[in-house]
Amino acid sequence: MIVLYVLALISCACAQYTVRDPVFEMMSPQGLRISYTDTNGVNLVGLHFNIDTPLAGVAAGQYNIDIVDKSGGAFVYEDQGITVRPGQTIYYWILVVHNSGGFQKTEQSWTVPSPITTTQATTTRTTAATTTTAAPSGGISGGISGGISGGTSGGTTGGTTGGTTGGTTLTGGTTGGITGGITGGITGGITGGITGGLTGGTTFGIAANCKEYPCDAACDQTVAPCNGLIFEENWDKLDFDRWQHELTMSGGGNWEFQMYVNNRSNSYVRDNTLFIKPTLTSEKFGEAALSSETVDIWGMSPADYCTGNAFWGCSRTGTGTNYINPARSARLRTVNSFAFKYGKIEVEAKLPTGDWLWPAIWMLPKHNSYGQWPASGEIDLMESRGNKNARNSQGESIGVDSMGTTMHWGPYWPVNGYAKTHVTKTLSGETFGDRFHKWGLEWTENDLTFYLDDQEIMKVDPGPGGFWELGEFSQTQGAATHNPWQYSDSKLAPFDHEFYIILNLAVGGTNGFFSDQDTFASGKPWSNESPTAFKDFWMAKNQWYPTWNADVNNGEDAALQVKTIRVWKY
| Per-residue pLDDT tens over the stretch 416-450 | 999 999 999 999 999 999 999 999 999 999 999 99
Of the two residues 243 and 96, the one the predictor is more confident about is: 243
Q: Quote the pLDDT of residue 195.
A: 40
At the fourth CATH level, the homologous superfamily of domain 23-112 is Beta-1,3-glucan-recognition protein, N-terminal domain (2.60.40.2140)
Q: Quote the pLDDT of residue 54.
A: 93
Distance in angstroms between the alpha carbons of the first and the last residue of the chain:
42
C-alpha 533/C-alpha 321 separation (Å) is 9
Question: pLDDT band for position 13 (50/70/90)?
Answer: very low
Strands in 160-307 per DSSP E: 202-203, 206-207, 229-233, 244-245, 258-260, 267-270, 273-276, 279-280, 294-296
Provide the 8-state DSSP code for 292.
Answer: T
Q: Quote the pLDDT of residue 146.
A: 42
pLDDT tens string 383-418: 999 999 999 999 999 999 999 999 999 999 999 999
Q: Quote the pLDDT of residue 480.
A: 78
| Number of other CB atoms surrounding residue 304 within 10 Å | 14
For the chain, give the mean pLDDT. 85
Of the two residues 73 and 260, the one the predictor is more confident about is: 260
pLDDT tens string 167-191: 433 333 333 443 444 444 444 444 4
pLDDT tens string 63-87: 888 888 888 889 999 988 888 888 8
Among the residue ranges 10-24, 353-367, 393-407, the one predicted with the least confidence is: 10-24
C-alpha 455/C-alpha 481 separation (Å) is 38
Sorted by where each begins, the domain ranges of the chain are: 23-112, 232-568
| pTM of structure | 0.67
pLDDT tens string 156-169: 444 444 444 444 33
pLDDT tens string 187-235: 444 444 434 433 444 433 445 678 888 888 878 888 888 889 999 999 9
Question: pLDDT band for position 249 (50/70/90)?
Answer: very high
> At a CB cut-off of 8 Å and minimum separation 6, what does 32 contact?
24, 25, 26, 78, 79, 82, 84
Q: What share of the chain is helix, strand, coil (3-state, %, to 5)?
A: 20, 30, 50
How large is the average pLDDT for residues 33-58? 90
pLDDT of residue 527 exceeding 60 = yes
Question: pLDDT band for position 60 (50/70/90)?
Answer: confident
Provide the 8-state DSSP code for 140.
Answer: G
Q: Quote the pLDDT of residue 217.
A: 80
Q: Quote the pLDDT of residue 152.
A: 39
Q: Quote the pLDDT of residue 98.
A: 86
> At a CB cut-off of 8 Å and minimum separation 6, what does 303 contact?
none
Q: Quote the pLDDT of residue 219.
A: 85
Of the two residues 246 and 163, the one the predictor is more confident about is: 246
The CATH number given to 232-568 is 2.60.120.200
pLDDT tens string 75-121: 999 988 888 888 899 999 999 988 878 889 999 999 999 776 666 55
Q: Are 48 and 58 in contact (CB under 8 A)?
A: yes
C-alpha 43/C-alpha 21 separation (Å) is 16
| Number of other CB atoms surrounding residue 77 within 10 Å | 22
How large is the average pLDDT for residues 142-152? 40
